[in-house]
Structure 1
C-alpha cells in the first residue's frame, strides 16, 4: 500500500511539473502548421497545464498496474522464494519492466489520446473531460484506444529500459549520498528511456492526433493513416530529422521530471517506514555484488 501511495503522489507531482514542456513536445511532434520548429507560444498561462488532468487522474491506476506487474514478474524471473531481491539480474529487470509496460497499455492508451488532443486544441474552454466526452460520443471505446498498438510497443520497450537504466545507474554511480544517487539515477533513467523510444512516440502522437491536424500525406488529407503509414510519411516529407521533432525539449524534461519523481518516491517511502528503508540500505551494503548481465 505504501508503495502505491508513494508512487502515485510522486507520479502526479512529476506530471504537473513537466506538463508545460510536454505541451511543447507534443505540438512539435504533431507536425501541425500551428507548431513551428521552435517552442510554440502558450495562448494563456493555463495552457501550460492543458491535458495534465487526464494523466493525473489515471496516475494511480497506471502505477498500480505498473508496480504490481513489475514486482510480481521480477519475483518469478528471479525465483526469489519469497526472499527480498537485493541485486536482481539486469536482464530480468528489463524483461519485467517490458512486461509491466505492456500491461499498462490498458490505462496509458486512452490517457495519451485525451492528453495529446487536449494539448493541441486552441479553444480556451477545452479540458481533458470535454475531449474525452467528444471522443466517446463520436467513436466510443474504440476511439479512446486509437493508436493502441504503437502505444503498447512504446510502453513495453520504454519501461524495460526505464527500470533497467535506473537499477544500472544506481549500481554504477559512486555517490555517497543516497538522495544524490537517486536524483541522478532517476534523471539518467528518464533520458535513456526517451532516447530509445522517441521515434515511436512521434509516430504515436501523429496517429492519435491526426483527426485534428492537416498533416501532408500521400494518401490524401482525409484518409485514415496507421502507424506504418505515418512512419513512412514522416520519412518522405521530413526525413530522419522528423522522427526527433522536439527531442531536446523532451530530454531536458525527462531528466528533471524523473529525478524529482524518484527522489520524491524514495522520500515518501522513507516517511511510511523509515526503519524498513534504513534496513534495506544496510542490507544492500552487506550484500554488495555485481549485477549479472
Structure 2
C-alpha cells in the first residue's frame, strides 16, 4: 500500500511539473498545419498546465495496472513466484515491460486523447473535462479510443525499453548510493525510451488531434487520416525531421520528470515506511514506482 501511495503521489507531482514542457512538445508535434495561434508560446500562465488533469486523475489506475501486469508477467517469465527477483534477465524484463505497456492502453489512450486535445485547443478556458465531454458527445466510446492502435504500439515498445534501460543502467552504474543509482537510472531510462519511440508519438499526436488541425487541401473536411496516412504525410511534407518535432524538449522533460519522480518516491517511502533501511529492499521496492511517459 505504501508503494502505491508513494508512486501515485510522485507520479502526479511529476506530471504537473513536466506539463509545461509537454504542452510545448505536443504543440510542436501537431505540425505546421495546426491552428496558427497554437505555437510553443503560452497564452497565459494557466495554459502551461493544460491537459494535466487527465493524466493526474488516471495516474493511480494506470500505475496499478502497469505494475501488477509487469510484476506478474516477470514472475512468469523468470519462473520465480512469491520471491524477490534480484537480477532478472534483461530479455524477460523487456518482454514483461512490453506486455504491461500493451495492457495499459485501456487507460492511456483516452488519457492521451483528452490531454493532447486540451493542449492544442484554440480556446482560452478549455478544460480536460470539457474535451472529454465533447469527444464523448461527438463519437462516444470510439472517440476516446481514436488512435488506440498506434498508442498501444507506442506504450508496448516504450515500457519494454523503459524497464530494460532502467535495469541495465542500474546494473552498469557503479554508485554506492542506492538512491543516486535509481535517480540516474530512471532519468537514463526515460531518455532511452523516448529516443526509441518518438516517431510513433509524433504520429499518435497527429492522429488524435487531427480534427483540430487543417487537413491537406486534397481531403474533405469530414475525412480523417489513419496513422499510416499521417506517417506518409509527415515524410512527404517535412522529411525525416518531421518525425522528431519537439524531440529535444522531450529529452529534457524525460530526464527531469523521472529524476523528480524518483526523488519524491524515495522521500515519501521514507516517511511512510521508516523501517525500510537496507539497500536491497530499496532496490526491490523501486519496481513498484510509476514510470511516466
Considering the TM-score relative to the shorter chain, is it more than 0.5? yes
Range that drifts further, 42-51 or 120-129: 120-129
The change in CA–CA distance for 1:264 and 1:217 in structure 2 (over 3 A counts) is: farther
Contact 1:166 1:189 (8 Å CA) reproduced: yes
Q: Name the CA distance, whole Å, in 1 between partners of 2:197 and 2:172.
A: 23
C-alpha deviations, 1:30-67, integer Å up to 9, x for none?
A: 0144578x962100000000000000000000001001
Equivalent residues of 1:70, 1:100 under 8 A apart:
yes
Shift of 1:73: 0.7
Q: Is the alpha carbon distance of 1:217 and 1:189 closer, same or farther for their aligned partners in structure 2, counting shifts above 3 Å?
A: farther
1:4 maps to 4
Distance 1:283 1:197, change over 3 A: closer
* Alpha-carbon distance in 2 for matches of 1:217, 1:191: 36
Partner of 1:119: 119
Relative contact order, higher structure (CA 8 A, sep 6+): 2
Decide whether the 8 Å contact of 1:77 with 1:92 is kept in 2. yes
Matched residues in 1 for 2:246 and 2:221: separation?
A: 24
TM-aligned CA distance change 1:231 to 1:218, over 3 Å: farther
The whole-number CA distance in structure 2 between the counterparts of 1:215 and 1:14 is 34
Q: Quote the residue 1:179 is aligned against.
A: 179
What's the C-alpha RMSD, in Å, of the aligned pairs? 2.0
- Aligned-partner Cα distance in 1 for 2:103–2:189: 20
Aligned-partner SS, 1:275 = coil
Gap runs ≥5 in structure 1: 285-293
Q: Which residue does 2:242 correspond to in 1?
A: 242
- How far residue 268 of structure 1 moved from its aligned partner, in angstroms, is 2.4
Task: Work out whether 1:50 is the aligned partner of 2:46.
Answer: no
Contact preservation (8 Å) 1:32, 1:215: no
* CA distance in structure 1 between the partners assigned to 2:63 and 2:26 by the alignment: 23
Q: Is the 8 A contact 2:35 2:213 kept in 1?
A: no
Do the aligned partners of 2:62 and 2:108 also contact (CA within 8 Å) in 1? yes
In structure 2, do the counterparts of structure 1 residues 209 and 85 end up closer, same or farther at CA, with 3 Å as the change threshold? same
Give the drift of 1:10. 1.1
Distance 1:276 1:44, change over 3 A: same
**Partner of 1:290 in structure 2?**
none
Match of 1:291 in 2: none
Number of aligned residue pairs: 283
- Equivalence for 1:86: 86
Question: So what's the TM-score if we normalise by structure 1?
Answer: 0.91
Instruction: Indicate the residue corresponding to 1:280 in structure 2.
Output: 280
In the alignment, what sits opposite 1:287? Answer: none
Question: Structure 1's 68 and 217: CA in aligned 2 closer, same or farther, altered over 3 A?
Answer: farther
Contact persistence 1:218–1:233 (CA under 8 A): no
Correspondence for 2:104: 104
Aligned ranges 1:1-293 → 2 under 5 Å:
1-33=1-33, 40-216=40-216, 219-278=219-278, 280-281=280-281
1:165-220: CA deviations, max 9, x gaps? 11111111112222221221111000000000000000000000000000436545
Please, what TM-score do these two structures have when normalized by structure 2?
0.91
* Equivalent position SS for 1:84: coil
Contact 2:35/2:214 (8 A) holds in 1:
no
What is the CA deviation profile of residues 113-156 of structure 1, one whole-angstrom value per residue up to 9, with x for unaligned ones? 00000000131211000000001111111100010000000000
